[in-house]
Amino acid sequence: MIAVRPSSLSSLQLVALASAALVLLPLIYITTLALSADPAVWSRLWTTRVPELLWNTISLACAVVLLALVLGVSTAWIVTRCEFPGRRLWEVALVLPLAMPTFVLAYVFNYLLGFGGPVEALWQMLAGPQARIFSPQSFLGVTVVMGLATFPFIYLLTRSALLNFNVSFEEIARTCGASPLRRIISVTLPLLRPSIVAGVALVILYVVSDFGAVSLLRYQTLTYAVFQQMTGQLDNQAASILSVLLVILALLFLVTERWFRRKSRFYQTAGRYRAPQRIRCNWLQTVGLTASLAMILGAAFGVPVCLLILWSLSPEALVILDARFFGFVWNSAVLATLAATAGVLIGLPLAYLASRKPTWLNTGCLQAAYAGYVLPGPVAALAVLVLCLNLIPVVYGTVLVLIIAYVLHFLPAGLQSLEPAIQQITPNLEEVARTLGLSARETVRQVTLPLIRNGIIVAWVLIFLQTMKELPATLLLRPVGFDTLAIRVWLEASEEYYQLAAPSALLIVLVGLPALGLLLSRDWRAA
């Protein structure tokens, strides 16, 4: 391999080092803050809040994973293994809930399942006037909301695994006389395990770091507690302690997932690949399948969107569609654009160096950048806050702090599409360009960048979308009067002004839809 010019390399390396420092410093700072906290605060937290918070967080994660698994795997199996009218449509539609931020779903469910809400009224017509349904503001309620919001992760991964699945394994089991149930348990499911585990890890991290749903449904998890400590206490000791616990918890889940994946590698046998035959459904089965899919998708997307549209058209909501509202739209757009651009610019050198010059330093920088995974929104906000206050107090209360927090938090999401994009192009192409006389910079500009353009676009869109939906860090760090759409939804919804929250919520969902299409066509199908 022809060596890249040393001068440009070292400047790139500096950028990568700086980005890694940007990510790691806040984490280190917050840990020191927690460790230097008064031991009395530690012991008080351990004896009172921590057991409850840990139990709430872990049990919620487990319950949501169970629900998401049932929904995700069964829907994926239906759309890949059954043939019925409308199958292709369902195949695409089942991704739609991903456009729904958890806080929007939570606030709609707060109304739907709420005390005296429509679902309860319906239930009382059947079961008598005194009948009660479960409250959305309970363990069960939060589980349902989070399960509906996250099952598409598992659906997507399981579906692509099922599509790339060699049926000969199942057929061999069949010729050996295994019953259908036995085939599913001992052949199909184990083969799906890697993708299911990856999906489960996504769901767990999502639940552990979620703020929107748990805050609106008043369910105490570690992430929500960090936020409450930050806003309710005069110092950040307790918040930093809980943050460190949260980081450790997320790290544990992440490491377990990696370990699982390494333990269970399955390889498709080369050649002789045959797509599975779909089961043809008769009309009765079709009706059954369509009804159950419609119920799942209706609860996760259809009904909420219809309600949002209805509320947005109500006179109360139309009144607030003034210049102030468009100011919020503008703020959201500006923040998301800046964060996405900054994220891509910081992510590119990291991913490039780690794949082209995989020294321990470069791969270390890349791994460090993934730390954002274990920094839920309030923790990222707290980390950036203490760091900025100590190092560069001038930027406190400006947009810059917010951007740093976003980049810190969402860089992993961007890297996940940048990294494979860069790895997929062979270094030979760049080497050819160099032998033909292009300089290192020109090679990057004329060969590498055009080739990884799609990866860059996907990374940018991902960060943009996530920033649009971001809530806790924005709440904690926004400059004066700098409200975003997500903040308006949360503020109005937390006082149960359903109509007033609807236009902003609907806009967030609508912006997410085309981006979802982009991701579907580029990212997931390739995966």
Taking residues 472 to 511 in sequence order and writing x for each that binds other proteins by CB under 8 A, - otherwise, the string is ---xx--xxxx-----------xxx---------------
| Options 338, 418, 422, 473; binder of other proteins; rule CB under 8 A | 338
| Options 39, 128, 315, 393; binder of other proteins; rule CB under 8 A | 393
For residue 410 the two structure tokens come to: 């969402």
399 touches other proteins (CB under 8 A): yes
Name the DSSP class of 478: P
Nearest one of 453, 85, 444, 144 to 280, comparing CA atoms: 85
> Least distance (Å) from other proteins to the CB of residue 257?
31
For residue 394 the two structure tokens come to: 């001038």
Q: What are the Cα distances from residue 484, in Å, to 341, 396, 504?
A: 18, 18, 9
| Options 73, 281, 342, 508; binder of other proteins; rule CB under 8 A | 342
Identify which of residues 138 and 168 has a Cβ nearer to other proteins in the complex.
138
What single string gives the DSSP state of each residue in 108-161?
HHHHHSSTT-HHHHHHHHHH-TT-----SSSHHHHHHHHHHHHHHHHHHHHHHH
**Rounded distance, CA 181 to CA 355, Å?**
44
Applying CB under 8 A, the span of 31-39, 196-204, 303-311, 336-344 interacting with other proteins comes to 336-344
| Options 389, 425, 520, 527; binder of other proteins; rule CB under 8 A | 389
For residue 190 the two structure tokens come to: 């184990």
| Options 285, 292, 367, 439; binder of other proteins; rule CB under 8 A | 439
SS3 104: helix
**Rounded distance, CA 305 to CA 179, Å?**
43
Taking residues 12 to 51 in sequence order and writing x for each that binds other proteins by CB under 8 A, - otherwise, the string is --------------------------------xx--xx--
Q: Which of residues 113-152 bind other proteins (CB under 8 A)?
A: 115-116, 137-138
The three-point CA angle 122-126-132 to 5° equals 65
Q: Which of residues 48-107 bind other proteins (CB under 8 A)?
A: 48-49, 52
453 touches other proteins (CB under 8 A): no
| Options 278, 445, 453, 525; binder of other proteins; rule CB under 8 A | 445
Q: Which of residues 254-313 bind other proteins (CB under 8 A)?
A: none
> Least distance (Å) from other proteins to the CB of residue 289?
37
Cα 113 to chain centroid distance, Å, stands at: 25
Applying CB under 8 A, the span of 172-180, 255-263, 292-300, 392-400 interacting with other proteins comes to 392-400
> Least distance (Å) from other proteins to the CB of residue 412?
20
Residues 6+ away with beta carbon under 8 Å from 156: 76, 95, 199, 524
Give the H/E segment covering residue 489.
helix 485-494
Nearest one of 376, 436, 380 to 408, comparing CA atoms: 380
> Least distance (Å) from other proteins to the CB of residue 256?
29
Q: State the number of binding residues for other proteins (CB under 8 A).
A: 55
398 touches other proteins (CB under 8 A): yes
Residues 6+ away with beta carbon under 8 Å from 322: none
**Rounded distance, CA 350 to CA 29, Å?**
22
Binding site for other proteins (CB under 8 A): 44-45, 48-49, 52, 115-116, 137-138, 215, 218, 220, 228-234, 238, 334, 338, 341-342, 345, 348, 385, 389, 393-400, 403, 436-439, 441-442, 444-445, 449, 475-476, 479-482, 494-496
